[in-house]
Amino acid sequence: MKLIRKSVAAVIFCLVIGPCAAKVQPATVAQLNAYLDQAHQAGLLNGNILIADHGKVILRRAIGYADASRTLLLKLSDRFDIGSITKEFDAVGILMLAQEGKLSLTDPVSKYLPDLPPWATTITIEDLLNYTSGLPEVDWNTVSSDADNYRNLRALKQLDYPAGTHYAYNNNNTFLRRRVIEKVSGMSFNDFLGKREFPRAGIRDAVIDPTDATPRVAKSFDANYKQDPMTVDITGWPALTVDDFLRWSNCMTSFCLITPDSTRQIVTTQDSKWQTGLGHGEMVGNHLVRHVHDGNDHNFEALLTTDSSKGRTLILVTNQNDHVYAIDDAINAILDDKPYVPLSAAKK
């Protein structure tokens, strides 16, 4: 009788909480490792990877080279440039300050940055989060510092379109989100990350704005093994290990920094094709059930996918502009015991 009661209780728990964990078998992990080895040998993968299943890390590997010399192997302790995924940090920072009552998403940018031209009175903080500000892209040909970019914005006569009317994903939205955080918090954006976000998220080993001289940072290179220089044109870009990346992902799904309501504000868009502060995602009630974000910079490419319906998180960080979505699809197919696209087809 006790055994029956325990079985019924387990079924009820699964129905209420969601799918119960089915342990990933050693044979499946072996198949994953074989696929990753083949992907590296085929020139499809050079980077670090972490797969978590129902909260347990089932695979964690460093595969390939740390730089273009092909003499230094990657380590799991290496930090990677994750490109636009770092925009989550400033989006979350804005919502943290909003939760504290220090700003409102409906505030005009001019309230915090009054030295910008009159167009700043028409752009709200929410526009910056939704990439509907009308701002043009950063002019990378003339920008090598925050001061350069702010100078360009102060000289900007008009927006590309009226604020709130069109979507255009670009880095000036991110740049001004960071400047607003600095104005409201009274500290640099990098300090805000180090003092307000990283500790609560459990991030232990991140480095912000790394250069070529920074230790344990993977260097990116192209298919001909030409290495990219690590430059910092505008500041505020953390590089993460896969372990810290997982901690950040878990923080988002457990709402360790912002509430479900706040998360909903940076994951919901008018169009499913639009990106938000968290990339792409879906809320069901007070649960973040899906979180997908990719980023690239030079030959770095990164991908985070979280699917709570399967209890699965996949993190891929690469430094040779690899085929992260094709690899993600194959990994999920292997875990689901389904066929996947062969490496030769994925490479095309």
Q: What is the DSSP string of 168-194?
A: ---HHHHHHHHHHHHHHHSS-HHHHII
Which of these, 109, 115, 105, 158, lies nearest to 136 by C-alpha position?
Answer: 158
Number of structural domains (the chain) is: 1
Instruction: State the pLDDT at residue 20.
Output: 56
Assigned domain for 68 exists: no
Token couple for 244:
């810290």
Assigned domain for 45 exists: no
Which range, of 15-19, 23-27, 95-99, 313-317, averages the lowest pLDDT? 15-19
Mean pLDDT over all residues of the chain?
93
Assigned domain for 189 exists: yes
Assigned domain for 192 exists: yes
Assigned domain for 91 exists: yes
φ, ψ for residue 12, nearest 5 deg: -60, -45
Averaged pLDDT, 236-264: 98
Assigned domain for 333 exists: no
Averaged pLDDT, 82-103: 98
- CA 132 – CA 119 distance, rounded (Å): 13
Assigned domain for 243 exists: yes
Does residue 18 have a pLDDT over 80?
Answer: no
- CA 247 – CA 251 distance, rounded (Å): 6
At a CB cut-off of 8 Å and minimum separation 6, what does 275 contact? Answer: 131, 169, 269
Query: Residue for token digits 């943290």?
Result: 96
At a CB cut-off of 8 Å and minimum separation 6, what does 41 contact? Answer: none
Instruction: State the pLDDT at residue 21.
Output: 56
Instruction: State the pLDDT at residue 347.
Output: 55
**E strand or H helix that includes residue 12:** helix 2-17
Domain that holds residue 106: 80-210+224-299
Assigned domain for 165 exists: yes
- CA 239 – CA 86 distance, rounded (Å): 8
Instruction: State the pLDDT at residue 268.
Output: 85
For the packed helices 171-185 and 87-99, what is the interaxial angle rounded to 10 degrees?
Answer: 40
With contact defined as beta carbons under 8 Å apart, do 24 and 55 qualify?
A: no
- CA 103 – CA 14 distance, rounded (Å): 40
Please report which confidence band the pLDDT of residue 269 belongs to, taking 50, 70 and 90 as the band edges.
confident
Does residue 149 have a pLDDT over 60?
Answer: yes
Please report which confidence band the pLDDT of residue 271 belongs to, taking 50, 70 and 90 as the band edges.
confident
Distance set, CA 339 to CA 45, 310, 328 (Å): 20, 18, 13
Averaged pLDDT, 211-235: 96
Does residue 273 have a pLDDT over 90?
Answer: no
pTM strictly above 0.85: yes
CATH number of the domain that 132 lies in?
Answer: 3.40.710.10
Rg (CA), the chain: 21
